[in-house]
Structure 1
């Protein structure tokens, strides 16, 4: 097995670290983005459910003799 010059090994090591940093950072940021989108979607769904319930309550209070709408 032939030995490489020291500068070739240093350059190879720096290149590997750069690639691993870029790949790791990309995966980390993608995971954070996916988590944020999931949590925001969940929060939005809860808000819409609460808003719909409040609207239904308001409709019932405004017209108590009207039949419930589905």
Structure 2
């Protein structure tokens, strides 16, 4: 293997570190974005499919009103 000058080795090392940093950072940020989108979608799905406390209370209070009120003739 041929010996290179110190500045060639230094520039090669800096280039490799720069490329690895950019690629690694991009993968890290992409993974964080995918995770955030997944968790937000899951939370949204839970809020849409699960009835809220007001809806639960509203349906029970309406049922109680219907039971206490006699049916019209």
Report the TM-score, using the length of structure 2 for normalisation.
0.70
What CA deviation, in whole Å up to 9, does each residue of 1:1-56 have, x standing for no partner?
Answer: 2101000000000000000000000000000000000000000000101248x38x
Asked which structure has the greater RCO (Cα within 8 Å, sep 6+), the reply is: 1
- Asked if 1:17 is matched to 2:37, the reply is no
Q: What SS is found at the alignment partner of 1:38?
A: helix
Unaligned runs of 5+ in 1: 65-70
How many residues are matched? 62
Report the TM-score, using the length of structure 1 for normalisation.
0.73
Q: Over aligned residue pairs, what C-alpha RMSD do you find? A: 2.5
Runs of 4+ in 1 over 6 A off after TM superposition: none
